[in-house]
Chains A and B, each alone.
Chain A
Amino acid sequence: QITLKESGPTLVKPTQTLTLSCTLSGFSISSGGEGVGWIRQAPGKALEWLALIYWDDTVRYSPSLHNRLSVTKSTSRNQVVLTMTHMEPVDTGTYYCGRLGNSWVDDWGQGILVTVSS
């Protein structure tokens, strides 16, 4: 069974850096063809893609946020880590990680609600 689970702080202060982990089960990020993406959703708003990483370390970032984002993987921990700098209240929302299919998101984590507030 494939599962993904997000973890990290649920409250960050403005200007701080957010670091979220996505722990994978049932598949390995180091296996050929695998990829994991990060998607967020502000309260009451639509889904917004942030970043993705593939088994071969290829990374892609949302053009509007690329200068604030970094995504890495740990094959030993079977995790994908998202870092987002300079957090502001508008960054409040639920952050999801997802296993990528050919060009879609096959499986989603449960999400983690991150609030940015002083």
Chain B
Amino acid sequence: YVLTQPPSVSVAPGQTARITCGGNDIGNKRVHWYQQRPGQAPILVVYEDNDRPSGIPERFSGSNFGNTATLTISRVEAGDEADFYCQVWDTDTVHGPVFGTGTRVSVL
């Protein structure tokens, strides 16, 4: 199962960033998102399409329909600059997590 993300997204501070994750009929899967700042381990920012772990700002939200899942970051801050990865659980062949190709979010 392949998850495709745009390599990069650029956004000005205070604006909204949208990161897409494309996969065949992904709307029927639960999608999770991770943020990875340079030199750090990933952290979970959204799970099961649109739930946030404790401590993650409400500015992070997700949606998932059809063949595309989207992570939306509202009121972008300089500290949001990072790589973002989507992930689903493949129950057909891998029987484990599958990660997207990753998107670098740059804050202008």
Give A residues with C-beta under 8 Å from B: 37, 39, 46-49, 51-52, 60-63, 96, 101-106, 108-111
Q: Chain A residues near B30 (CB, 8 Å)?
A: 103
Chain A's nearest CB lies how many Å from the CB of B39? 10
Of A52, A101, A104, chain B has the most CB atoms within 10 Å of the CB of A104
Q: Are A49 and B99 in contact (CB under 8 A)?
A: yes
Binding site secondary structure of chain B = strand
Binding site for A on B (CB under 8 A): 30, 32, 34, 41-44, 47-48, 53, 85, 87-89, 93-102
The answer on a CB contact under 8 Å between A60 and B44 is: no
- Given A37-B96, A46-B101, A47-B102, decide whether A103 and B89 contact each other with a Cβ distance below 8 A: yes
The one of B43, B53, B97, B99 that contacts A108, using a Cβ cutoff of 8 Å: B43
**Chain A residues with Cβ under 8 A from B42's Cβ?**
47, 96, 105, 108
